Amino acid sequence: AQSVTQLDSQVPVFEEAPVELRCNYSSSVSVYLFWYVQYPNQGLQLLLKYLSGSTLVKGINGFEAEFNKSQTSFHLRKPSVHISDTAEYFCAVSDGGNNDMRFGAGTRLTVKP
């Protein structure tokens, strides 16, 4: 079965600074990769997904992620963060079945003024 490791549990950054949230996965088959964001007291929302094609995926709110098959990574980046980006971010991997989407433990991004 596949698994996901988010390498940082907390990432503090200053407003307008760039940020990278790291995600590595393991799987023996082709995968689909996702980033979800969770704002306080809310459910998760899809930020972006990689299914196939271009390895650079653009999502909502200026976020993007790059699929790197050789390094089994799917890191999330934003060139300039805002206070409103403060949230928890989850990386997830699926091989296409119904019950096989695995989530990472989450990275709490805190943007400071």
Q: How far is it, in rounded angstroms, from Cα 55 to Cα 45?
A: 21
Question: Shortest approach of another protein to residue 26 CB, angstroms?
Answer: 15
Question: Shortest approach of another protein to residue 4 CB, angstroms?
Answer: 8
Question: Shortest approach of another protein to residue 98 CB, angstroms?
Answer: 6
Between 81 and 89, CB nearer to another protein: 89
**Interface with another protein (CB under 8 A):** 4, 9, 32, 34, 36, 41-46, 49, 51, 90, 94, 96-99, 101-106
Shortest CA distance to 25 belongs to which of 76, 88, 77? 76
Report residue 113 CA to chain centroid gap: 23
